[in-house]
Each structure stands twice: as structure tokens, then as C-alpha cells.
């Protein structure tokens, strides 16, 4: 991360664009709903109930949101473990999206927790820890957010080390020296933690056992969730790189993204084959002939389409197909996770759930906040690779 070969520069420019204002509008709407929720309880803003105690906040904001935040994990796996240094320019923006994805998942959890004021007890009262997979997720996600902050800190240090403030300058120099020395240990932690909690997110739904549909319930759920988050991570990085290139007029790394799409293709194809074969081997294939079976097939089709697209060399080299495939992979992963946590979970015929309007507003607000923070960060800090250092920057 402290590489001197890849030059990162702030994008600079006007932050308060019309698009940014729209984002802030949705953030404000969400914030109002959040205030309402804290004043009058979860039932006042959501359709969550005793049958469906978890809804869109958990299934989307947390379970999908953290997977969307796996870009940093997936790319670091390529760059640092498999030693594919050519993807290095993608690392820092990927780590930023990871930090935002995870940070806002933590925010969503805090909103969702009925007794959020007791959350601090979870890491502190270690003698009361159970073997709950959710405990593993909670501790691991908290640790990972910290690691991501450290991983991204050189972006701030590089900005401050030439700044006017003497204290910040000294801190930044010390910080960069520390990062250079400790990099391997921090990066290893940054890879271990997602491996642990992304698989545990799968393990979690194993406890819902009898009420989770057999097409989704499998002891392989942790493994499926882990591989799935890597697929989503690569897809998000392709989308992020494409979008920021267009948005900020920086050259799009077509060739690199073609290669990355190739990696995504192999991982996604493996996931798809494993998911389908597991159902066959478990002897659950006959269950496909049912309404929920159609949901299962749609879920597979959503993943199969981009895999088919990316199997072709010409399409993989085509920027439009790279983006299209990445979008579909993100959608497929999202649907898989939402199905596992919501659609395939059946607490009985007397219960139903669809998110209420304020509940959705909170989720929209969180997504808007995520995009707004991304824009602010890349404009302010040296995150994106390339650009004329100092020219557009600090404009």
C-alpha cells in the first residue's frame, strides 16, 4: 500500500455537484427515519416482526453490504498472496470501498440492534463469549474495520506529510514508516479476517436450520458465502474502476480490467458449479419443481449469464461487457444472500415480511452516504491511481 511505484493523486474538483446534493437529500431522509426509530422503536419504522426478525437491514445492508465491501480482500488476495503486482493500482480504491462497505454495515447493525447501548459489552465481556457464529462475525467485522482504516491510512499520511501542520507532518512520517515495516502483518490480518467472518455469515444461517429451505441449507454454506464474497469483490472493483474513470476523466485500465474479469470468471464459474452440484449431490434436485425452486433457478441464472458472457475472449476485452458482467455478478451475489437470509427462510404461513417505506429509506440513506463518502474521499485524498500529481489535485 505504501508502494511508491503507483502514484495516487486526489481528484480534487467541486464536491457539491448536483449529484452530490441528491445523495445528501437521501442521507437526510434516512437520518430522519433513523431518529424516529431510536425514539419509538424498531416496529415504528419497519415491518420486522417475530416471524421475520431480520429484514432488509440485515439481509442487504449487512450481509450483502459487507460482501460488496470485499473488493479490498479480493484484490489484495491477487496482489499480495498470488503476487500479481499488476493489479496494484486497484488496491487503494478497493480498500476504500471496503472500508465504506464495512463501516456502513456497522452503522446498519447499530440501527438494527434493539439494545444497541449494550453493544460495547460484546468485545469486553470475553468470559461470557459463546460459540455463536454471530459473535465471530461481530468481533471479526469490528477488527476488520480497524484494519481497513490502518490499510488506508497511507492515503491520509501522504496528504498530510506535505501539509502545513507540523504535528500532522511528524505523525504522517511516523505512520508511513510504521506501515512500511508492518505492512505484511497488517495485510495478512486484512485477509484472515474476511476469510473468517464472510464464511461465518454463511454459518450463521445454519442455526436457522429447520426453517431454511433445503435448497439453501447446506453444511457448505460457509464455503459458498466465502467464495461468493470474492466474486462480488472482483465485480465491485471492476464497477468502481469503470465508474471513477468515467466520472473523473481518468484513463480506464481496459486491459487490466479484462484480466480481472477473467479472474472473476473463474471464481464465479467455480461458485456456480459448486452451488449447483451441491444441490444435486445432497439429493435436493426434486425440490426445484416448486415456487421456491423457481427462485433458486433465477438465482443460478443471474450468475450463469455473466459467467457465459465472460467465457468469451472478445467480450471480456469489451469494456461494456466487463461492466455488464460485473453488474450481473453483483446482482447474483445480492440475490443469493437475500434469498438465504429472507426469501428461503420460512417461519410459518402466519408470517410475512416486506420492508416498510421508512425501513427502505434508512437503507437508501446508508447507500447514499456510502457513495457520498467515496466521492469526498477520492476528491480529498490520494486514492485513485494516475492523474497528474498536483495538477488537477487540490484544484
Partner 1 sequence: MTPSRRTALKVLAGGGCAAAAAAAPALAREPKVAPPGAMGMLYDTTRCIGCKACVFACQQANGLEPERDPSGLHLAPVDLGARTKNVIKLYKDGPRMSYVKAQCMHCVDPACASACMLHSLQKDPKTGVVHYDPSYCVGCRYCQMACPFGVTKFEFDKAAPKIVKCELCRHRVKGEAKKDARGFTRYASGEGPACCEVCPREAVVYGTREELIAEAARRIEENPGRYFENRAYGLTEAGGTQVLYLSHLPFGLIGLPDLGGRGVPHVAYSIQEGIYRGFVAPVALYGALAVAMWRNRRGAAPPAGGEGVPS
Give me the half-sphere count of Cα atoms (radius 13 Å) on the Cβ side of residue 252: 20
Q: Is 151 in the site for partner 1 (CB under 8 A)?
A: no
DSSP for 3-70, please give it: -SSSPEE---S-S--HHHHHHHHHHHHHHHHHHHHHHH-GGGT----SS----HIIIIIIIIHHHHTT
Q: Is 83 in the site for partner 1 (CB under 8 A)?
A: yes
Asked if residues 161 and 172 have their Cβ atoms less than 8 Å apart, the reply is yes
Q: Which of residues 366-395 bind partner 1 (CB under 8 A)?
A: none
Q: Which of 48, 63, 258, 372 is close enough to bind partner 1 by CB under 8 A? A: 48
Least distance in angstroms from the C-beta of 211 to partner 1 = 6
- Number of residues forming the site for partner 1 (CB under 8 A): 78
Least distance in angstroms from the C-beta of 355 to partner 1 = 14
d(CA 156, CA 382) in angstroms, rounded, equals 8
Q: Is 195 in the site for partner 1 (CB under 8 A)?
A: yes
Q: Is 358 in the site for partner 1 (CB under 8 A)?
A: no
- Please say which residue, 54 or 309, places its beta carbon nearer to partner 1: 54
Q: Is 354 in the site for partner 1 (CB under 8 A)?
A: no
Q: Is 219 in the site for partner 1 (CB under 8 A)?
A: yes
Q: Is 311 in the site for partner 1 (CB under 8 A)?
A: no
Which residue has cell 458482467?
325
Q: Which of 142, 189, 256, 373 is close enough to bind partner 1 by CB under 8 A? A: 189
Give me the half-sphere count of Cα atoms (radius 13 Å) on the Cβ side of residue 321: 22
Least distance in angstroms from the C-beta of 6 to partner 1 = 6
Q: Which of residues 199-218 bind partner 1 (CB under 8 A)?
A: 199-200, 203-211
Axis-axis angle for helices 166-204, 133-160 (nearest 10): 160
- Please say which residue, 208 or 392, places its beta carbon nearer to partner 1: 208
Q: Is 349 in the site for partner 1 (CB under 8 A)?
A: no
**Which phi and psi (to 5°) does residue 215 adopt?**
-70, -20
Which residue has cell 432488509?
56
Q: Is 94 in the site for partner 1 (CB under 8 A)?
A: no
Q: Is 320 in the site for partner 1 (CB under 8 A)?
A: no
Q: Is 287 in the site for partner 1 (CB under 8 A)?
A: no
d(CA 199, CA 227) in angstroms, rounded, equals 9
Contacts for 180 with CB less than 8 Å, ≥ 6 apart: 2
Q: Which of residues 152-181 bind partner 1 (CB under 8 A)?
A: 180-181
Q: Which of 86, 173, 247, 313 is close enough to bind partner 1 by CB under 8 A? A: 86
Least distance in angstroms from the C-beta of 288 to partner 1 = 22
Cell of 351: 408470517
Contacts for 104 with CB less than 8 Å, ≥ 6 apart: 61, 65, 366, 369, 370
Q: Which of 26, 54, 216, 353 is close enough to bind partner 1 by CB under 8 A? A: 54
d(CA 324, CA 320) in angstroms, rounded, equals 6
What 8-state DSSP symbol labels residue 162? T
Q: Which of residues 226-265 bind partner 1 (CB under 8 A)?
A: none
Least distance in angstroms from the C-beta of 166 to partner 1 = 28
Least distance in angstroms from the C-beta of 151 to partner 1 = 13
DSSP for 372-394, please give it: HHHHHHHHHSS-EE-S-TTTTTT
CB atoms within 10 A of CB 137: 22
**CA angle centred on 170, ends 165 and 176, rounded to 5°:** 120
Query: Per-residue x/- marks for partner 1, 109-148, CB under 8 A?
Result: ---xxxxx-xx-xx--x--xxxxxxxxx-x----------
Q: Which of residues 61-80 bind partner 1 (CB under 8 A)?
A: 79-80
Least distance in angstroms from the C-beta of 86 to partner 1 = 6
- Please say which residue, 237 or 328, places its beta carbon nearer to partner 1: 237
Q: Which of 60, 234, 345, 374 is close enough to bind partner 1 by CB under 8 A? A: 345
Cell of 343: 426469501
Q: Is 35 in the site for partner 1 (CB under 8 A)?
A: no
* E strand segments, 218-369: none
Bridge partners, 385 (sequence order)? 8
Q: Which of 15, 82, 285, 297 is close enough to bind partner 1 by CB under 8 A? A: 82
- Please say which residue, 205 or 368, places its beta carbon nearer to partner 1: 205
Amino acid at each position: 500500500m505504501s508502494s511508491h511505484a503507483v502514484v495516487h493523486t486526489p481528484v480534487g474538483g467541486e464536491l457539491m455537484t448536483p449529484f452530490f446534493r441528491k445523495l445528501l437529500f437521501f442521507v437526510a431522509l434516512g437520518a430522519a427515519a433513523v431518529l424516529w426509530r431510536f425514539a419509538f422503536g424498531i416496529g415504528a419504522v419497519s415491518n420486522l416482526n417475530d416471524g421475520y426478525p431480520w429484514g432488509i437491514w440485515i439481509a442487504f445492508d449487512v450481509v450483502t453490504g459487507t460482501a460488496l465491501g470485499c473488493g479490498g480482500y479480493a484484490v489484495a488476495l491477487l496482489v499480495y498472496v498470488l503476487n500479481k503486482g499488476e493489479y496494484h493500482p486497484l488496491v487503494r480504491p478497493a480498500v476504500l470501498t471496503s472500508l465504506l462497505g464495512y463501516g456502513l454495515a456497522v452503522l446498519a447493525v447499530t440501527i438494527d440492534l434493539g439494545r444497541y447501548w449494550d453493544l460495547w459489552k460484546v468485545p469486553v465481556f470475553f468470559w461470557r463469549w459463546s460459540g455463536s457464529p454471530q459473535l465471530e462475525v461481530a468481533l471479526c467485522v469490528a477488527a476488520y474495520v480497524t484494519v481497513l482504516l490502518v490499510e488506508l491510512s497511507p492515503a491520509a499520511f501522504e496528504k498530510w506529510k506535505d501539509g502545513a501542520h507540523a504535528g500532522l507532518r511528524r505523525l504522517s512520517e511516523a505512520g508511513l514508516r510504521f506501515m512500511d515495516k508492518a505492512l505484511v502483518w497488517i495485510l495478512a490480518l486484512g485477509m484472515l479476517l474476511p476469510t473468517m467472518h464472510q464464511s461465518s455469515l454463511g454459518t450463521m444461517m445454519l442455526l436457522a436450520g429447520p426453517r431454511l429451505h433445503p435448497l439453501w441449507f447446506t453444511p457448505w454454506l460457509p464455503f459458498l458465502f466465502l467464495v461468493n464474497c470474492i466474486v462480488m469483490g472482483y465485480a465491485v472493483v471492476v464497477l468502481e474502476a469503470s465508474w471513477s474513470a468515467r466520472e473523473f476523466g481518468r484513463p480506464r485500465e481496459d486491459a487490466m480490467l479484462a484480466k480481472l474479469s477473467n479472474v472473476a470468471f473463474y471464481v464465479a464459474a467455480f461458485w456456480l458449479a459448486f452451488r449447483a452440484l451441491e444441490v444435486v449431490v445432497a439429493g435436493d434436485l426434486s425440490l426445484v419443481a416448486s415456487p421456491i425452486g423457481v427462485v433458486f433457478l433465477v438465482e443460478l441464472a443471474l450468475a450463469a449469464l455473466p459467467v457465459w458472457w465472460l467465457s468469451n475472449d472478445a467480450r471480456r476485452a469489451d469494456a461494456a461487457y466487463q461492466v455488464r458482467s460485473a453488474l450481473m455478478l453483483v446482482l447474483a451475489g445480492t440475490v443469493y444472500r437475500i434469498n438465504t437470509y429472507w426469501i428461503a427462510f420460512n417461519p410459518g404461513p402466519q408470517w410475512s415480511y416486506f420492508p416498510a417505506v421508512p425501513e427502505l429509506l434508512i437503507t437508501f440513506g446508508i447507500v447514499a452516504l456510502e457513495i457520498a463518502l467515496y466521492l469526498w474521499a477520492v476528491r480529498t485524498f490520494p486514492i485513485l491511481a494516475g492523474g497528474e500529481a498536483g495538477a488537477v489535485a487540490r484544484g
